[in-house]
Structure 1
């Protein structure tokens, strides 16, 4: 790695899975002659769990400047490859970049709203999933499964925020604006094509993560371990007799993964069923609309799947954010994206006192973008209804937060080499990551603050 001018650099040794980056490969991807190239690691340890990212610097013949790309490919570990295959996450992301996101951007153009609903998308130059038709030779699956995209960091100066610290209010607001753009565009797309469900046209948007056939069922043991660790953290902080601890224990019993799946059903959330999960139920409201809210949801809105561009005059203030990693995108209620984002990426001391204000940022942005796209918002999309539905989704957010924060807040120096032992079962690898997490004081404080707040507000 890092050797310049070598005509063939095997980023992944052929004897392991047959994928290599060569002059020929790059010329096929970019349809240009390559003069020189060099490669490096594309992400830091602990930043990516489903794929391997390789940074590639290419000088094309006749051009003086270097071009920077990321090549996203399958991992070496057989268990991780099998999980990716089972979840179909790689082909889902390629579909998003090559088909759905361009259609949404074109819709904004057709509505004359491209300068208002200007969804930021990383340029993708090529990709292939063996078994799908494409310009690459059909070979065994391990040869050429990849997505090639512009490296926004080195090309335009985008950067990733600190996952351990989480986002401040300026970062959170701009993410909510971008999230609202995608949600509004996908909602407008449904209306334009007269679709009851996006999945009627695009089965790629059916959730596979928590379905009966989904691979998450293999992680029930890991989830139990995480729940046990998180319960111990809150008991250490609050005392085992505290009612919040007792309530947490009741809410992380063994069917947690199944209950998470209830929020991601193809036909939407069963409002009554999910509100029955709340310790303090909302007041009856005969005018409340229970029709499911369904639109395109990113599905994995956490800090590492966001790249920020900053104002030169105000270096710490972001002016643009690009959402990346569309591997588990799905049609779902927008509140699942919101809960996922808030609980994974905005730390409790900032999130809790500012929650209503941040929800209002999202609400107003969604209305504004729907207006620009000349489409009525989701039925019953008032701020009060959004808050009610989000409160219900906080239950989902808690179940997501326990495992996600365990990984997100793990110090980089403790991040494992996911491909070190290819004979090790994937669930065992994740169990090793979880081991000892109850000693992480920052994680303990975050989990405890979250649990206590959800108890005080009657979610659990």
Structure 2
């Protein structure tokens, strides 16, 4: 990498770590591949001081002039900074204050950030150096991986509820800074255009493959994309801080053995579109995007794993789960709100089947005049793999009256 980039990175890290430039050295050891970051680039660096070495991931905003014209992308990058700088530490510290033996802290360690007119940088620990791995993006998660994620979501959402219940003023302060609901994000014409086009592409593949009554439901869903989040936020009585970006590539797993079948830990990454909404939005987005045809038939069991984790974590705060989110209400909310996850899975699963060689950098695509809806609904390599996934998702959603 060029001397200019190394010098720039050193300035970023001096600010993030509050170090004098003469007191440490930096070695750049890699960068993100194609498709590893849509609105940002990733650099891997090693920072050395006389006392210790830090292996780091630097998330940097893209420098595309066209991309910078989309204020949404600048906002979501700064939004993720707020999550790492303020919101997640508040949640973690709150659990420690309550002396919880087991807490939600399944996120990368945050070291600091750098902000200038042209550069926004988030500095995190390199999870790969700690033994964490990504799951193959085209492969549905097995049951063990699904359960370790839904348990963590349960603890995360319960911490949100506990903070709102026990420290309402602090929670309101956080909420004001968070600044947006899921409906607010989803009401964006750009977002609606992207999702609508991905659903349409899915319908085109499913025609002739599933019964016409399912196609009719999918077409009705496509025509009502704009109302999905408004409907469920009106119906869902419980709202929490949500992760928001729940597809396969945003979880890293650590294992205690070589089988790679049963993870011992998970780390949740990419908090750029975190928002305030129903916990079903995270749960359904994750499950519909990652579940296998075999495990989708055991969906109710998986939902109860989530609710048990949520309830157990609330009890550790001294709260009564049945007073705050009883199981019957949770399952009713799943019925009312999970179509959101089904819709988002069209986009997420589609992205999983784009071949590496066919991935186009988002900034470059916009510089060449491509619009965002066409970018996110572009050609995929393994069409049959994608069609197989959305076929069993559509059948399940129809059979369980979720559409």
1:157 to 112, 128, 131: 131
Give, in angstroms, the shift of residue 89 of structure 1: 1.4
Residues 41-190 of structure 1 mapped to structure 2, 5 A cutoff: 41=31, 43-60=32-49, 62-63=50-51, 66-83=53-70, 85=72, 88-113=75-100, 115-130=101-116, 141-142=117-118, 144-154=119-129, 156-190=130-164
Give, in angstroms, the shift of residue 204 of structure 1: 3.2
Give, in angstroms, the shift of residue 174 of structure 1: 0.7
1:10 equivalent to 2:5? Answer yes
Instruction: Say which SS state the counterpart of residue 253 (structure 2) adopts.
Output: strand
Give, in angstroms, the shift of residue 391 of structure 1: 1.7
2-structure distance, mates of 1:298, 1:376: 24
Q: Deviations over 1:269-307 (max 9, x none)?
A: 112xxxxxxxxxxxxxxxxxxx71011111112221111
1:28 equivalent to 2:15? Answer yes
2-structure distance, mates of 1:343, 1:204: 30
Residues 223-372 of structure 1 mapped to structure 2, 5 A cutoff: 223-238=195-210, 242-253=212-223, 255-256=224-225, 258-262=226-230, 269-271=233-235, 292-312=237-257, 315-347=260-292, 349-372=293-316
Question: Larger radius of gyration, structure 1 or 2?
Answer: 1
2-structure distance, mates of 1:105, 1:178: 13
Instruction: Say which SS state the counterpart of residue 226 (structure 1) adopts.
Output: helix
CA contact (8 A) 2:182 2:276 kept: no
Give, in angstroms, the shift of residue 127 of structure 1: 0.8
1-structure distance, mates of 2:351, 2:252: 19
Q: Deviations over 1:113-154 (max 9, x none)?
A: 0x3224223111111344xxxxxxxxxx21x31111111112
| Counterpart residue number, 1:217 | 189
Q: Deviations over 1:58-101 (max 9, x none)?
A: 333x35x7531111111122343344546721222111111121
1:202 to 154, 167, 175: 175
Give, in angstroms, the shift of residue 384 of structure 1: 3.0
1-structure distance, mates of 2:26, 2:323: 55
Residues paired across the two proteins, number:
400
CA contact (8 A) 1:416 1:433 kept: no
User: What runs of 5+ residues in structure 1 fail to find an aligned partner?
Assistant: 12-19, 131-140, 272-290
Structure number having the greater helix percentage: 2
Give, in angstroms, the shift of residue 315 of structure 1: 4.4
**What TM-score does the superposition give when structure 2 sets the normalisation length?**
0.89
Instruction: Say which SS state the counterpart of residue 166 (structure 1) adopts.
Output: coil
CA contact (8 A) 2:252 2:267 kept: yes
Instruction: Say which SS state the counterpart of residue 49 (structure 1) adopts.
Output: coil
| Counterpart residue number, 2:397 | 454
2-structure distance, mates of 1:116, 1:166: 28
CA contact (8 A) 2:181 2:276 kept: no
The 3 A distance-change label for structure 1 pair 179 and 84 is farther
User: What runs of 5+ residues in structure 2 fail to find an aligned partner?
Assistant: none
CA contact (8 A) 1:50 1:84 kept: no
The 3 A distance-change label for structure 1 pair 39 and 362 is same
Give, in angstroms, the shift of residue 207 of structure 1: 2.8
The 3 A distance-change label for structure 1 pair 225 and 296 is closer
2-structure distance, mates of 1:161, 1:236: 32
**What TM-score does the superposition give when structure 1 sets the normalisation length?**
0.79
The 3 A distance-change label for structure 1 pair 158 and 84 is farther
The 3 A distance-change label for structure 1 pair 186 and 56 is same
Instruction: Say which SS state the counterpart of residue 21 (structure 1) adopts.
Output: helix
1-structure distance, mates of 2:270, 2:196: 27
| Counterpart residue number, 1:401 | 345
| Counterpart residue number, 1:16 | none
